[in-house]
Structure 1
């Protein structure tokens, strides 16, 4: 779970955090990992709502490899981050986008992400659909990843190598 966008500060952030708190209380057999953005508008609210819940891990922001590891292992991603919307499909992860619009429409169109806004009822409804399932039942077909297949560097290398040999 991540949230950091300015558009979600204030009431929207409170709604998101209330939703996460309810999910954590309902799904005690799940771990919720939340790298907390250092912005004081985010940090103080996150700790107010979620500190002390035994199955919620509040961490400092993570490095890229750690973030990818968490995404790979997660059953569900809750985020307002554009970058995470692009990374999750590589692992077949469903993403609930806690925004009202996204510039990453390819993920929505391909079925990897769903815009849920910040209303608790909508976040809870969509999260329940996924969290109630076994993790293997939540995986999406990553071969349909709209952001690529992960082999761009190899393809580029091959094209350059073959191009250099031509006159």
Structure 2
């Protein structure tokens, strides 16, 4: 029996892998799960195993944080050792998303001659200053099976010369997870615990280095969010990376206008966003989730690798200019709830299609 090894490392990876693992399990496939430890905070990763029904990892590499080079290198060293010692060796390594763990595991597996499947392949922002963009491009060109979420992803891969025979459009696995857990999340009514009315607040997330590492730039964003907070409460679950920046006294005034809370588990956060009036984020996954939820989203970046959330969903890319953010927030609040539609194949069955594609690939590889 073929063995599929899944590699996860950061928060979004768990929501992408869970539906595929469940679908493969229903088909009797042998699987193992490796956690690189890229996100090592219990609130950022550990809680996901319980909430999403994932098995505890067969192996935790424990790489921790560091620069991009340090983190990628540590994953490669530890993962190579794990593969060399594995008995039996996996027949396929599945890497989701675009984090450092993704490209590191793909490179190690490819060099050892183990086929790689990239889950959420083909997304492009066309901004090479984003570390994630480089991770996406390299991973796609190392992969033997590319599982895409949308037509634009297929088009990007074709333009880069990747054969269509290696590509399978399966849809958005994160939305499988969202649909499966939304009733439980809604029942938590997380907004009540914060003393907020349903549909009467905004949620913000910030974590990208380009937005949080420069104190002046972060200060401008916080000032724009403080303007939004004059219209309705703004809840800010603070990523550990961003929390360190907010210790700067120069940022304290603008931050005081926001409701700062600790990072939330998946169900708590989904509960909060599902009842939000507006989402402001630099997260790719939240652009997708807000589209599925029908909640207006303002993306605080100059581009997106998920253009389908703009063309068909509720997302608007507004950049980082404070005046524009405040103006677009007022426009979104005046316009009422999001009027986008859910893209095709974001139907809760993407995990099933991905499992079919994986098993078909393995059958062909072993024929």
Q: Provide TM-score, normalisation by structure 1.
A: 0.77
- In structure 2, what is the equivalent of residue 24 of structure 1? 229
Q: Is the 8 A contact 2:312 2:340 kept in 1?
A: no
Q: Is the 8 A contact 2:205 2:283 kept in 1?
A: yes
Following superposition of structure 1 onto structure 2, how do residues 1-167 of structure 1 map, counting pairs within 5 Å? 1-9=204-212, 10=214, 11-25=216-230, 27=231, 30-39=232-241, 40-44=243-247, 47-51=252-256, 53=257, 56-133=258-335, 137-142=336-341, 144-145=342-343, 148-153=346-351, 156=353
Shift of 1:58: 0.7
Shift of 1:101: 1.2
The answer for unaligned runs of 5 or more in structure 2 is: 1-203, 357-367
Bigger radius of gyration, 1 or 2?
2
Describe the SS at the equivalent of 2:298: strand
Describe the SS at the equivalent of 2:316: strand
Q: Distance in 2 between matches of 1:75 and 1:147?
A: 25
Q: Is the 8 A contact 1:79 1:95 kept in 2?
A: yes
Q: Is the 8 A contact 2:246 2:255 kept in 1?
A: no
Higher normalized contact order (CA 8 Å, seq sep 6+, divided by chain length)? 1
Shift of 1:141: 4.1
Shift of 1:62: 0.8
Q: Is the 8 A contact 1:79 1:97 kept in 2?
A: yes
Q: Provide TM-score, normalisation by structure 2.
A: 0.37
Q: CA RMSD in A?
A: 2.6
The count of residues paired between Structure 1 and Structure 2 equals: 150
Describe the SS at the equivalent of 1:150: coil
Q: Distance in 2 between matches of 1:32 and 1:147?
A: 32
Shift of the 83–103 alpha-carbon distance from structure 1 to 2, 3 Å rule, reads same
Cα deviations by residue, 1:36-84 (Å, 9 ceiling, x for unpaired): 1112554325645222x3xx32101111111111111011100001111
